[in-house]
Copies of this chain bind each other. A is one copy, B any other.
Amino acid sequence: MSSKTKLLQKLGVEHPIFLSPMAGVSPISLSAAVTNSGGLGSIPLASIDFRQDDGLHKLNALIEDYAAGIDKPRNVVNLNFFCHEVEHAPDTAQVDNWKQLYQKAIHASDDVLAKAQFTNGNVSFRELERDHPAKYSLLMDYLGTLRPKAVTFHFGIPNNATMKWLQQKTGCLVLVTATSVAEAVFLVEKGVDGIVLQGYEAGGHRGNFLADETSDENLSTHALFSQVKKYVDTLPVDRAPYLVPAGGIGDAATIRYYLAQGADAVQLGTAFLATPESLTAKFFSAAVDGTRADTAMVELVSGKRARAVRTAFIDALVGLNEFRRDELPGYGYAYNAYKSLKPLVEQDIGFYLAGQNYHQISKGKLTEHVMHELINGLK
């Protein structure tokens, strides 16, 4: 049995297509549509604060929604956690700099800027695991009952005990994002089941955890996949992880190429941004028709590098920034401040995450139609 077939059997799906977990963009209906089409829906959990008492209730509500929407067992799903190093709360100078920058970029009044909330809105799985043992246990118990087919981590890796527990007690596959060969080697040594190989083209937050932005080589999906595949081919079969390239992949020909070269599945997100299910469908449907805007790797909105459409807002922010990275609030805090400001200003300061190939997507097609076209093209 080929590695690809084995992966599909383990996941309980027909086709080697994962939905990218897109927090804030992909509702449960999008995940369900991908799963119903024979791929694997992914549910992003980055915005659930599992330190809070209602964290598990929120997760359960998502799973119930998902279960009601799919024609498969409820555990045919990928649950995605962020696993970054927790940043320090910003000091006064960082907050002031941020307000200065946003004042210049969006001309918000002091009153409005004063309402920005510098609390940490992105809770890391790592923080839960390390600092909140009771809540961590409850989450693990829940996962043990649900037995999801896959759990994925972005921005890093949980500790060994968590990974072994997930693999052995829930039977799920643990996959972690890598953006470099060094990260892939590290993940293999940690015993992950699979690696999501996130190329530089990919939309959304770049998941690097060993390199910082100055040392990150920014490997394309093709270069990253080629190099990691070459390394994996040197491993004993039982240590070889599943490989799931992600980034810039939006058509059947490209998927066929990666599968033929030994990928076990692919992960797609941007391809679904203009479907009616997407929460950013309105923006991306207009963008497909409109004047072409580039994407850019932007760290000034969330505090971490993410690929987004270069709107007038992003241009202003990038063009006006005079601060070094450490002179502004860190990830989580910056992101929450931005999110809290967004509904208070008149203009659209949306942060539209998308891959380099977002111009290629077609609009107005249901997710199941996009999936259908891709799958037909794989035959």
Contact = CB atoms under 8 A, between A and B. Distances in A.
Interface of A: 180-182, 199-201, 214-215, 217-223, 226-227, 230, 248, 250-251, 253-254, 257, 260-261, 292, 294-296, 310, 318, 355-357, 359-360
Contact of A199 (B220, B261, B357): B220
A352 to B, nearest CB: 15
Give me the 10 closest cross-chain CB pairs, A-B, nearest first: A220-B220, A223-B356, A217-B294, A257-B257, A223-B248, A201-B220, A201-B223, A223-B357, A219-B356, A222-B248
A227 B270 CA distance: 14
Contact of A227 (B222, B227, B310, B359): B359
Nearest to A230: B360
B357 A227 contact: yes
Nearest to A185: B292
Contacts of A217: 294-296, 310, 356
B360 A227 contact: yes
Given A230-B359, A292-B181, A221 B218 contact: no
Q: Determine which residue in A217, A250, A254 has the highest number of CB atoms from chain B within 10 A of its CB, and name it.
A: A217
Nearest to A223: B356
Contact of A200 (B180, B220, B253, B359): B220
B222 A254 contact: yes
A260 B254 contact: no
A250 B261 CA distance: 14
5 contacts: A199-B220, A215-B294, A223-B248, A226-B250, A227-B359
A357 B226 contact: yes
A310 to B, nearest CB: 8
Nearest to A258: B257
